[in-house]
Amino acid sequence: MDKQLEMLKDLTDVNGVAGFEHAVKQKAKSYLEPLSDEIIEDNLGGVYGKKNAKDGSKTILIGGHLDEIGFMVTEIDDNGFLKFTPIGGWWNQVMLSQRMHITTGEGKVITGVIGSKPPHVLSPEERKKPVEIKDMFIDIGVASKDEVLEAGIELGDMVTPASEFEEMTNKNYLLAKAWDNRYGVALSIDVMKNLEKEDININLVSGATVQEEVGLRGAKVAANKVKPDLAIAVDVGLAMDTPGMKSSNGTGDLGKGPLVLLLDGSNIGHVPFRKHVLAVAKDKDIPVQLQVIPGGGTDAGSFHVSNEGVPSLAIGVPVRYMHSNVSIMHKEDYQNAVKLVTEVVKSLNDDKVDEIIW
């Protein structure tokens, strides 16, 4: 496995939902430190490397987010079953009988499974009705509440999908539990790596926010801390190339290039900035796809309304099965996204930023 894949595995295998990003932050920081002139951290847990401009005063912020979707333990019943609440957006139909990891306060990881009834006992009406999340439970294989407590599990512990990074049949297809958004964390690191020995004419702050999945919260803090002139949220987008997915909101085929979001539920991609990015892509022969996501949002939603306003754009890759236990990304899409963001940074200087800000 090459170093890039090792980093992708390292970042996706670690567990960290919103509010519990510390272990992911430490991983990201260990990669950013040797590449950066300075490490910037905010008080919520965001971490960024900074590369100083050789000639220029403007700043661009490149932000992935550290957190993944998961759950929190909210109840332990007398028989040792765990109740939970989602942290981030889940669809109940993807959850039953899935293996989960509960991370204790001491860092111990315990495997459980979200329970489900056998079809033999379900009435025809029950078979048609999805189980509500409030009625679900996690079984860790014990007989009592005391055994749960002895194992070290407490209310408030983090729960994440039990799924490891894996290369698929075609090795360009990469499966992991947390492409949303360890993809963006990895990209922020690889852009710094690409530019490590190059002079640039804009200050680059590249890293990852926290608590994106619960309302783009860390992005507010990051933008206030960094005070960028431009910002790019690097986050995943929708794959449209599987059965049942509609292409009416743009394209999103795996292997056909990174996504530039025209708009989502939180942000209209800044038009002059978008035009500049697409011009760079054309000039450097980087394939791109355009997409609209009517619901949801990215950290660009908080970046663009921070301070006095920050022209912002979201750049992603198409991912299959987003917001579930596993998702699939294409390696070439990732590499082209890294190339695109790298070239955008190289293309910027004070005059170009002033031209983009209209």
Helix axes 3-13, 22-32, angle to 10 degrees: 160
User: How far is 188 from 204, CA to CA, in rounded Å?
Assistant: 10
Handedness of CA 286, 291, 295, 301 (dihedral sign): positive
CB within 8 Å of 134: residues ≥ 6 apart: none
For residues 267 and 236, the answer to whether their CB atoms sit within 8 Å is: no
The one catalytic residue among 106, 212, 308, 332: 212
Tokens describing residue 348: 């910027």
Helix axes 179-194, 3-13, angle to 10 degrees: 140
Amino acid identity, position 173? Y
CB within 8 Å of 86: residues ≥ 6 apart: 69, 70, 71, 133
Residue-wise DSSP of 246-280? --TTB---TTS--EEEEE-SS-BPPHHHHHHHHHH
User: How far is 196 from 345, CA to CA, in rounded Å?
Assistant: 12
Known active-site residue 212: yes
As annotated, the active-site residues are: 212
